[in-house]
Amino acid sequence: MRKEYDFSRAVPFQKWRRERKGARRAQAEIGAPVDESPLTRAQIRELDRRIKDAEDRTRYLLVSVFGPKFALYYNVSEDSYGMNDACYATLFKRRAAAQAVKARLGSGVQLVRCRVDKRRRLVLVSLPKLRARWPRPQKGRRLTGA
């Protein structure tokens, strides 16, 4: 058996629209006066600095490199490393914050600069070629342990 619905109590769209429009006008009339004083140079500089910082796509991540094809990317929220995939890494907006975490992790961790796209996802092409921290032997030379 089908249920019958009574739509007679529904508010017609045009009536609802008029009511909303009237409410917006009333809000505008009641609202506080608009302050139109010009900004000082210091305020303009501060706004420019904040806009530039918000639009900056540079990020930093922490990597522990063991070889040309093996790297661990640090994830701060889980306090763990993701293997060979930079998408698991924590992206730091501030270099100072990344350096502070790096100092707590100890030696063997590199700070890598990268870039994100408009959706704040990591651009993998922006990652540099990672090299292990130990020097590679040159032709005719042998590494000695010390």
Domains of the chain, by residue range, sit at 57-126
Query: What tens digit of pLDDT does each residue of 66-89 get?
Result: 877 788 999 999 888 888 888 888
**Cα–chain center distance at 113:** 13
Instruction: Give Cα separations from 77 to 43, 45, 92, 113, 146 (angstroms).
Output: 35, 34, 12, 19, 37
Looking at residue 129, the DSSP 8-state letter turns out to be P
* Average pLDDT value over all residues in the chain: 78
Closest by CA to 11, choosing from 20, 1, 3, 22, is 20
**How many Cβ atoms sit within 10 Å of the Cβ of residue 30?**
7
Strands 80-83 and 70-75 come out as antiparallel
Residue 109 token pair: 């961790």
Q: What is the mean pLDDT of residues 24-49?
A: 76
CA distance 128 to 48: 30
What pTM was computed for the model? 0.60
Question: Hey, which residues does 112 pair with through a beta bridge?
Answer: 61
